[in-house]
Structure 1
Amino acid sequence: MAKLPLLLPLQLPRNDFKENFMGMNVGSNNDDDVMLEVNMTPLIDVMLVLIIMFIITIPAPNNAININLPNGTPPPTNEKPSEIIDVRIDAAGKVFWNNQQVSDRKALETLFQGVVAKKDQDQIKLKPDQMAEYKNVAMVMATAQRLGVTKIGIVSSN
């Protein structure tokens, strides 16, 4: 019977051994000193998370300025408040100035001129009847505009 040769596992020299373990290269490259390389990415991620948590937990500064304001009352006004004049137009087309019927268009113009002559114009509230014709409402508004009335409003019945 022939003898078989004894096979031993292949052994590499220690200088060529290099192992990668969790991002760190452990081993040697023909040097006797140990070479370690640390992966910085997880460390930076943890630091950024800690910084963000720190910034979130810091209370926001209150920039309010405490000032003691003086107490007082405004000076009295010498001007009387402007009047409110009701101008009504009924279904028949008759115009009423503060519940008094205006006889014709010339009288209406005179009343509007009296309003314009004041320093502070009175407020005019135009209240047409629901059944009033539009031409009568337009005539009153056109007369007021032509004479320079600025404080006029239309009040609806609803």
Structure 2
Amino acid sequence: MAFSTQDSDEVLSEINVTPLVDVMLVLLVVFIVTAPLLTNSIPINLPKTEAVAPVEQKEPLVVSIDGDGKWFINKDAISPDLLQSNLQAAKAQNPDLRVQLQADDGTNYGQVAKAMAAIEKAGITKLAVITAR
């Protein structure tokens, strides 16, 4: 049998590099496997086009309700009862009518809901509710 001649009190000054080599080999395998996936592009010759002017859209109809409960269509004061009939007349002139609904911050939600119901009953499907940031 062979016995060690070194004293057990001495500090071992060698670094065990086996775990470091294992980790580096695993990282190398991971990079080898994932590298081809990063450059997976297909060369395509896309057609060339000319710039086209955007389609002209008509100004939307604006329905507003202020803080005092007054109703407006494009800054013209109206009665809440006449909103649906006015919107139906506007829709008859322009079948692709867009409506924007604006309401004051202090407006009762019941009035806003009533306006939305009148817009829906008038047959308008394009409604935008405008809020402040």
Amino-acid identity (%): 30
Q: Determine which structure has greater relative contact order: mean sequence separation of CA pairs < 8 Å that are 6+ residues apart, divided by chain length.
A: 2
Q: Say which is worse superposed, 54-63 or 145-154, in terms of deviation.
A: 54-63
Q: Scaled by the length of structure 2, what TM-score is found? A: 0.59
User: Which ranges of structure 2 fall in alignment gaps of 5 or more residues?
Assistant: 1-21
Matched, 1:150 2:104: no
Quote the Cα distance in structure 2 between the aligned partners of 1:96 and 1:68. Answer: 54
Matched, 1:101 2:77: yes
2:65 — aligned with what? 89
User: Which ranges of structure 1 fall in alignment gaps of 5 or more residues?
Assistant: 1-48
Matched, 1:69 2:46: yes
Closer, same or farther: CA 139–52 of 1 in aligned 2, 3 Å = closer
Give the structure with the larger helix fraction.
2
The amino acid of 1:73's aligned partner reads E
Q: Which protein has the larger Cα radius of gyration, Structure 1 or Structure 2?
A: 1
CA contact (8 A) 1:129 1:157 kept: no
After TM superposition, give the deviation of residue 82 of structure 1 in Å. Answer: 3.9
Q: Scaled by the length of structure 1, what TM-score is found? A: 0.52
CA contact (8 A) 1:92 1:132 kept: yes
For residues 95-129 of structure 1, the C-alpha deviation after alignment (integer angstroms, 9 at most, x for no partner) is 111111124523x223311444434231x222222
Matched, 1:137 2:112: yes
CA contact (8 A) 1:82 1:120 kept: no
The amino acid of 2:43's aligned partner reads N
In the alignment of these two chains, the number of paired residues is: 111
RMSD between aligned alpha carbons? Answer: 3.5
